[in-house]
Amino acid sequence: MRKEENPHGVDARKLYDTEKVQVIHILLNPGERLKRHITKTDVLFYVLEGEGIVEIGDERKTVEKDTLVESPSGIPHCWYNES
């Protein structure tokens, strides 16, 4: 997997990429975040380890290892690793 350049400046690697579906492995080191943005497709995030804070629309919650998070298309979302 090759690290992809992205506007968030984080380690993001595409595992699968088609017009309708993308699978991306994202590593958020302590203090890093995904900036608030909107996607054209639904997004599913799966937390492999640690914990983070996710915002989807107006909802904000802390999530931890083995959590699956759904983010519908057209709704702003962002992630934080505040550890």
Model confidence pLDDT, tens digit, residues 11-65: 888 888 888 888 889 999 999 999 999 998 888 899 999 999 999 999 999 999 9
Please answer whether residues 67 and 47 qualify as being in contact, where contact means their C-beta atoms are separated by less than 8 angstroms. Answer: yes
| Residue 14 confidence (pLDDT) | 84
pLDDT the model gives residue 71? 92
Indicate the residue type of 83. S
Q: Label residues 31-66 b or e (16+ Cβ within 10 Å = b).
A: ebbbeeeeeeeebebebeeeebebbbeeeeeebeee
Categorise residue 31: left if φ over 0, alpha if ψ from -120 to 50, beta otherwise. left
pLDDT at residue 1 tops 70: no
pLDDT in tens, 64-78: 999 999 999 999 999
* Spans of all domains in the chain: 28-80
CATH number of the 28-80 domain: 2.60.120.10
